[in-house]
Structure 1
Amino acid sequence: MAAQWFRVYDTLRKAIVVGELAPGSQLPTEFEVSATHHVSRNTVRRAYLALSQDGLIRSVNGRGSFVMQTGITYEIDATSRFRDVLDGQGVKSSVRAVEYRDMATDIAMAACLAVAIGSPLLKVTTLILGDDTPFILTTRHVRADLIDDLERKLLECDSLTLVARSEGLGQLRRVSRTVGARLPTQREADLLECPSHAPVLVVSTTSRIDNGMLLECQDAVMNGRLVRLSFRSD
């Protein structure tokens, strides 16, 4: 016979997969599940932990456990934007600023952007949301010497692609990308509202403008439950 915790886990997992428990909905409390299944609360807690590790639910201290949203496929090429993907699938996209910070280029960033050490950069950390659900946490290091008043312009339109175009720099195009997976930091899990035990996707890219100069290096941390990656040839 299957262990008691696994029977509880399997029942809830199936309810999530078939949609009986809808994305974003709150699961019953540990007390309610223990009474329904005639098991201890520790048994329920273990089942909930397994669901969290599978990326099916997210448990929030003091609030309860919630079903994670379903995934969206992001087809990446040289110019694709995730917000366009969301909007194209009827999901209202938005951007939430987390941090804007002026900094000088260190050795690693100088090599990434092919500029001199100490050159001015703007570090931009934002959340991309769809219907108010966090999908991607992005950290961008952007050359601040190529665009005057860069922070204000980014805050006004939430898009480096549009800023570069309006400044006469042309189309922003990705020229390199590296994809990996790892567990999120606690800060990343909190901002993305995802389980700390479920892997996130990390896509690192560099992008250039029409004259061939590199404009930004970006690390995008994606909720692996919400985002599936697909790559197109340029």
Structure 2
Amino acid sequence: MRSQGQTWVEARDRINLEITSGRLAPDTRLPSEPELCVLYGTRRHSLRKALAALVAEGKLRVEHGRGTFVERAPLLNYVIGSRTRFRENLMSQGLTASGETLAEMKIPASARVAAALDIAVEAPVHARSWRGFANDLPISMGWGYHDAARFPDLQERRRTVRSITEVYRSYGIADYRRLRTTVFTRIASESEAAMLMLRAGQSVLVVQKIDADLDGRPIGFSEAVWAGDRVQFTFESDQPTVMTTERDSDV
């Protein structure tokens, strides 16, 4: 048996080296504490401090009732700024962006949608549900809303072009900016977990956003659910308004 004298820093560095070298692959469950103490030659209190440090650094994750696992590196660093584009975000990192429409309809605006788009409650809006992919792996799904009075045939135009940016240009909107982004976390619903290929009980990131034309008039509102283990968000300093909260309610 190895000496039990290694410090928590030495234990942390040894475990970290095994993670960075690939010997401990993402999603690998670590052995029990007694086994780790023998393997890394340290006492239990030092081991626990080393594991806690690696959890804080994002190298490990603790799943209560299951154990300690090697964390996955996010597939995508999604940059949110005044000009946020799904396709450009993925292409800049060598990823292939794609998506599918799940549902389309025209509905009366709810109070929440009306407030976001600065229109009257129950005014007609185009509602579209979608799912987004990076390299064919699902990373997001959600609903988007547009004022039907301003964009009367939006759904038809979307079928002929590949991006909402091109649709806006067809209406004479040369460019647009992110007006507001709100981010919070919650547990994925059963249907969301299935659609995003997540484990039951896994957390998702919910992103609500409002885009506006260059005059500051809202043109689109959406709420998307993102697979939290496949994406991290970076907010650029020119982002006008960012609101971050944590909730347990459904979308």
Could you tell me which residue of structure 2 aligns to residue 211 of structure 1?
A: 215
- Which deviations, in whole Å up to 9, do the C-alpha atoms of 1:206-232 show, x marking residues without a partner? 111133321111112111110001100
Q: Report the CA distance shift for 1:226/1:202 in structure 2 as closer, same or farther (over 3 A).
A: same
1:103 is matched with which residue: 86, 104, 107? 107
Aligned residues: 188
1:173 aligns with 2:177: yes
Name the structure 2 match of 1:50: 66
Higher relative contact order (CA 8 A, sep 6+): 1
CA-CA distance at 1:179 after TM superposition:
0.9
| CA gap 1:221/1:19 in 2 versus in 1, 3 angstroms | farther
Cα distance in 2 for residues equivalent to 1:128 and 1:74? 13
- Could you tell me how far apart the structure 2 residues matched to 1:218 and 1:167 are? 19
Question: Given residue 76 of structure 2, which amino acid in structure 1 is its aligned partner?
Answer: I
Q: Which runs of 5+ in 2 are unaligned?
A: 1-17, 28-62, 239-251
Give CA-to-partner distance per residue, 1:174-214, whole Å, 9 cap, x none: 11111111111111111111123221111111111133321
Closer, same or farther in 2 for the Cα pair 1:228/1:144, shift >3 Å?
Answer: same
Using the size of structure 1 for normalisation, the TM-score is: 0.70
Contact 2:19/2:70 (<8 A) preserved: no
1:111-155 alpha-carbon deviations (Å, 9 max, x no partner):
221111221111111111011101111311111211231111123
Distance 1:109 1:154 in 2: 20
Please say if residues 55 and 194 of structure 1, whose CA atoms lie closer than 8 Å, have aligned partners that are also in contact: no
Q: Identity, % of aligned pairs?
A: 24
- For residue 42 of structure 2, what is the aligned residue in structure 1? none
Instruction: Note the aligned Cα RMSD (angstroms).
Output: 3.0
Contact 2:79 / 2:236 at 8 angstroms: preserved in 1?
yes
- For the 8 Å contact 2:26–2:70, the answer to whether it is kept is no
Where 1:152 maps in the other structure, the secondary structure is helix
The residue type equivalent to 1:160 in the other structure is: I
Q: Given the superposition, is the C-alpha separation of residues 233 and 142 from structure 1 closer, same or farther in structure 2, using an over 3 Å criterion?
A: same
Q: Name the structure 1 match of 2:195.
A: 191
Tell me how far apart the structure 2 counterparts of residues 111 and 133 of structure 1 sit (CA, whole Å). Answer: 33
